Chains A and B, each alone.
Chain A
Amino acid sequence: MEFLFDTATPLGWFIVKTLVILAFVVVLLVSLAFILLADRKIWAAVQMRRGPNVVGAFGLLQSFADFLKFVFKEAVIPAGVDKPIYALAPVLTLVMAFITWSVIPVAPGWVIADLNLGILYVLAISSLGVYGIILGGWASNSKYAFLGSLRSTAQMISYEISIGLVLITVLLLSGSLNISTIVEAQSGGFWNWNGIALSPLTFVMFPMMVIFFISALAETNRPPFDLPEAESELVAGYQVEYSSTFYLLFMIGEYLNIVLMCAMISLLFLGGWHAPFDFAPFTWIPPVLWLAIKICFIFFLFSMVKAIVPRYRYDQLMRLGWKIFLPLTLLAVILVAAWVTFIAGGA
């Protein structure tokens, strides 16, 4: 039996990698169930409601009940849709959301593919995420869905630019595109974390973290930038013609992307799996838990923004992306590059 798990042979490597990926996916999906619940609970608490509280203790099993409900519902396919593309769109969204996670390290060495171009890979795959939305909207053969998908595409393309530029500042600082290396460069306590480091550069990097956070909201179509699915105008945007499992795939993909963005902020700006202090009581907590705590904290901010901030108007959204974030991030790239070359002693 042992030869099956020997990573030196192609077969063993294949089997071991498949098992690792399966385990990762299961852990991700189960945590997603509770993150979804947390999102609804936080939203409810801000509005002084109770939120889901019937299924399981404190409603802990609500997401699993929802899952069963989605799966057992009838998949209604409207007339006049382009069936293959209509079915392809949600699958594409889900697959793109999952394969980005393959380069995200969750602890030292705990990564499925330790790519040297990890950041570029994340950027490439996240730019593909738009296809699920645009195809879903087009294939639905519905005006609401089409308008929603057009809005979403324009929005995602606009904010991808500022996300890319913010990423450039981070990788200038660590001189690598490998996410593990970027995290290792921030070891030794919170005063070394990119976002809140104790150095003059923090006046640039902290705003960059905020810009990344806001762009991530826009990129994942979260409120206050949820114009593609603005329920008051477009019913539910590109998802309006989808039901049952198809809709579930869209929703899981969307939330996976949100958690991915939280993970990216934690890894790039908040030291990833490093403890805030490099001594005893803090280092007892395993690295993967530190990362989870940071991801949960950022996700809490995501939910609070959803609960508190009113929706932007579309022209305001475009103005923010192109006229404010783009010049600011460009300036930051220049400043950080100058810092790295002239003050920090060359990369």
Chain B
Amino acid sequence: MEIETLLPALAFYLFAGVAVMSALMVVIARNPVRSVLFLIMTFFSAAALFVMLGAEFLALLLIVVYVGAVAVLFLFVVMMLDVDFVELKQGFAEYLPLGALLSFVLAVELIVLGATFRMPKEFVAQTPITADVSNIEAFGRVLYTDYAFFFEAAGLILLVAMIGAILLTLSTKKDVKRQKVCEQVSRTPKDGLKRVDVKPGEGI
């Protein structure tokens, strides 16, 4: 085999193997924090596979969004949880048959899908990939022309979700003192000081 084809093949099997193994470790790791770390490893391997496909933009986006933001929040939550590891492991044997059944069904479905699915001809290379256009430019051209409506709709849905999340967590308590920077800065000696004439022998 030529070295030009051998090296990518080796790299693919390395990344794919690491992805599968770390995905397995997410499930069987004892410590939840380590589970999250293995999840990050899975994301990373997936990103590497994207790079091998020539989709660098997707790969970097995967790292920025999933590894840089989502997994950090996972890690945050898992670290703060007071998890009893012994209790966590107790139900393992009980749930094993159900879990095995589910994963078996899933595996069979995937295999059947993989064996039978053929890409319809009209979908193949609908937007031809040209070498002179960089990854992000190609994305932009498709996203802001053909799929502009879907893109905007997705943005709108995210906006609504964000406003909803803010509304749900917003709580204004009356007895909490808040700092008003504007008031603080605009304070003059006039507002804060009072001159009192104290008569001798009386006090205030």
Contacts and interface: CB of A to CB of B under 8 A. Distances in A.
Interface string B67-103: 1110010011001000000000000000000000000
A246 to B, nearest CB: 18
Nearest to A178: B134
Contact of B67 (A127, A135, A160): A127
A18 to B, nearest CB: 16
Interface string A112-152: 00011100110111011011001100100000001000100
Contact of B64 (A123, A130, A138, A146): A123
A157 interface: yes
B56 A85 contact: no
B116 to A, nearest CB: 36
A124 B64 contact: yes
A10 B75 CA distance: 39
B136 to A, nearest CB: 6
A134 B34 CA distance: 13
Contacts, number: 62
Contacts of B4: 10
Given A124-B63, A138-B33, A177-B136, A116 B69 contact: no
* Interface SS, A side: helix
* Interface SS, B side: helix
B67 A319 contact: no
Interface residues of B, number: 26
B72 to A, nearest CB: 6
A157 B69 contact: yes
A177 B64 CA distance: 15
Interface in B32-78: 33-34, 37, 40, 56-57, 60-61, 63-64, 67-69, 72, 75-76
A124 B68 contact: yes
Contacts of A82: 31, 33
Residue among A115, A124, A134, A146 facing the most chain B CB atoms (10 A cut-off): A124
Given A117-B57, A120-B64, A177-B136, 9 more contacts: A10-B4, A116-B56, A117-B60, A124-B68, A127-B64, A131-B40, A134-B76, A138-B33, A146-B79
Interface of A: 10, 82, 85, 115-117, 120-121, 123-125, 127-128, 130-131, 134-135, 138, 146, 150, 153, 157, 160, 177, 315, 319
